[in-house]
Amino acid sequence: MPQHTPPDSADPLLAVDRSELDIDRKARAKRPMQPVVKEEAQKRLTNFNEIYLLYETEIACIEAGRCIQCPDPAPCQLACPLGNDIPTALRLTEQGRFIEAANVFRKTSPMPEICSRVCPQERLCEGSCTQGGGPNDQHVRIGKIEKFLLEYQYAMEGIPLGEVAPDTGKRVAIVGGGPSGLAVAEILRRKGHAVTVYDANPFPGGLLIYGIPAFKLEKSRVVEKVEQLKKIGITFIPNTKVGVDIMLDDLRKQYEAVFIGVGANVDATARFDGADLEGVYQAGEFLIRANVPLELQPPALAAQGKPDIGRRVYVVGGGDTAMDCVRSSLRLQMAHGYDLAVTCAYRRTEAEMPGCRAERENAREEGAQFEWLTAPVRFIGDEHGKLSAIEFVKMELGAPDESGRRRPIKIEGSEYTVPADTAILALGYWPDDTLGKTVPDLETHDWGLITADPETGRTSLTNVWAGGDAVHGPDLVSTAIRAGLHAAQSIHLYLMNET
Ligand SMILES: Cc1cc2nc3c(=O)[nH]c(=O)nc-3n(C[C@H](O)[C@H](O)[C@H](O)COP(=O)(O)OP(=O)(O)OC[C@H]3O[C@@H](n4cnc5c(N)ncnc54)[C@H](O)[C@@H]3O)c2cc1C
């Protein structure tokens, strides 16, 4: 269980147990929530920039001063996959000690500038804030304060380089430069080990670059993080798919330890007639071509340019990826000067949608339409093999399934057809089974997920660890980082011959 860890300051105010703080918690709880300012929807649609404007300094202090400083263990800290000491960071913010506050986040998180932008705080820290919940939800806006602090620090001193221990002479290979791999790389490098990151893509970052759109996470923040890692001595080898361009067994011989963080990035295949028509996209490819700067795209995708967006777009799915596709499509339609016509078709109702509520709201503000209890039956093409219509069927909800959500059931005879020129299938992601297939002794399960100890990340192979989406399936940036931090600790002990 994470415990309150005061920052390195000798400040007695920070060193005390929070339960003994002389503050009026009732008065704090009555302070009104400070609004978050977003770019106006019509303006947002004209570009792919982040939509949330930064808190003004004074507003950040006021909002941080709404925190009632729950005694240990604070629910927000417990809900954070990284165990960030949020109450202490907010206390420092309230006092205007922004860099110290930013460094409280850095203590437990290797990339707080990224987490502050992409974490679904409504489900994590903010969702567990004692001031939240109920119709008059008044949670402290932790994510927006964290982003303010990190941007403040960045403007003042850039991303601090941090310390690196003297070289140990040990070498570690990281397979996959997503958040889990980058977290392992940074921790082990700081402990003095030589670290090399292999990635199949032209640039590290994983889904931070090749998935999450720039209107949620500016790509420059990821590029700067990678620059920082290069400066502390981490080597990156791009365009190298382990299991194809180089074998895992070779890495196991060349390096004392190997971490696998290859994610789960294979688009779930569609079993519908017409899914191969021109105009029907898989979410993964669509988001890369729509969002990633050309120079960072894999050459095969870069050669195709932006997706050929139509005037009538349907996105199939209900998760965050679906919402990212909807909002990217709206921006592409705007760029073409089309009337906005992007519909998200989901087979359950809004109440069962797995994605983040705030992102759905953003999509609505930007003009997205929704059709609930609707599933595609087939995609219909014209004489040129291009999508021209989609046949849908209406659904109703039955008994709960294994996910706890009510199972959608087809209503026989309710099929209907709509004209459409673009369909994007955001049906989820599967693991890539390349490594499992090319290394028979690497234990895998469920279509290629790597079996690893949940605490240490150790796999069935002696000097190989794994973590992130490749182990637990598609999840979150913060949980991938957490897996990386745990594995890094275990790898370090192994390298130093400690238990
Ligand atoms: C569209 C989309 C939006 C998302 N939005 C959010 C969000 O807002 N907030 C949030 O918290 N999470 C979000 N997620 C989930 C989050 O991005 C992932 O959970 C997280 O990135 C997983 O990190 P990872 O390190 O396990 O893998 P990844 O980020 O997938 O990185 C894996 C890396 O491994 C590389 N690789 C794969 N195979 C090989 C190989 N054989 N050899 C070498 N390299 C290889 C890949 O090129 C990639 O760089 C989103 C996911 C998607 C798809």
- pLDDT tens column, 103-115: 999 999 999 999 9
Ligand 1 lined by 200 (C-beta under 6 Å)? yes
Q: For 421-460, give the secondary structure using H, E and C.
A: CEEEECCCEECCCHHHHHCCCCCEEHHHEECCCCCCCECC
DSSP H or E stretch at residue 399: strand 387-400
Q: In whole angstroms, give the CA distance from residue 78 to residue 90.
A: 15
Answer yes or no: same fold for 171-265+430-495 and 269-427. Answer: yes
Task: Output the CA 223–ligand 1 centroid distance in Å.
Answer: 15
What is the residue extent of each domain of the chain? 12-157, 171-265+430-495, 269-427
Average pLDDT over residues 122-137: 89
> Model confidence at 12, in pLDDT bands (50, 70, 90)?
low
Residue 32 in this model has a pLDDT that exceeds 70: yes
pLDDT at 103: 96
pLDDT at 13: 53
Which residue's CA lies nearest to atom 12 of ligand 1?
476
% the chain with pLDDT above 70: 96
Average pLDDT over residues 286-298: 96
Lowest mean pLDDT among 85-89, 92-96, 117-121, 404-408: 404-408
Task: Output the CA 26–ligand 1 centroid distance in Å.
Answer: 42
Average pLDDT over residues 346-357: 91
DSSP H or E stretch at residue 197: strand 194-198
CB 418 within 8 A of CB 313: no
Give the CATH number of domain 12-157; options: 1.25.50.10, 1.20.1250.20, 1.10.1060.10, 3.40.50.300.
1.10.1060.10
More confident residue, 175 or 132: 175
> Model confidence at 4, in pLDDT bands (50, 70, 90)?
very low
**Which of 210, 262, 481 to probe ligand 1 with, by most ligand atoms within 8 A of CB?**
262
Average pLDDT over residues 450-471: 97
Which residue's CA lies nearest to atom 20 of ligand 1?
477
Q: Does CATH number 3.60.15.10 belong to domain 171-265+430-495? A: no
Q: Which atom of ligand 1 is nearest to the CA of 359?
A: 8
Structure tokens at 294: 């050309």
Task: Output the CA 331–ligand 1 centroid distance in Å.
Answer: 23
Nearest to 36 by CA among 124, 140, 125, 129: 140
Residue 5 in this model has a pLDDT that exceeds 60: no
Average pLDDT over residues 64-84: 95
pLDDT at 405: 82
- pLDDT tens column, 400-446: 888 788 899 999 999 999 999 999 999 999 999 999 999 989 999 98
Nearest to 273 by CA among 429, 417, 428, 433: 417
Average pLDDT over residues 240-246: 97
Which residue's CA lies nearest to atom 48 of ligand 1?
206
Residue 11 in this model has a pLDDT that exceeds 70: no
Residue 3 in this model has a pLDDT that exceeds 60: no
What does DSSP say about strands 194-198 and 171-175: parallel, antiparallel, or unpaired? Answer: parallel
Ligand 1 lined by 206 (C-beta under 6 Å)? yes
Ligand 1 lined by 198 (C-beta under 6 Å)? yes
Per DSSP, what are the bridge partners of residue 490?
A: none
Which residue's CA lies nearest to atom 30 of ligand 1?
263
CATH superfamily of 269-427: FAD/NAD(P)-binding domain (3.50.50.60)
pLDDT at 17: 77
Ligand 1 lined by 381 (C-beta under 6 Å)? no
Task: Output the CA 432–ligand 1 centroid distance in Å.
Answer: 12
Ligand 1 lined by 207 (C-beta under 6 Å)? yes
What percent of the chain is helix, strand and coil (3-state, nearest 5)? 40, 15, 45
pLDDT at 416: 98
Q: Which atom of ligand 1 is nearest to the CA of 205?
A: 49
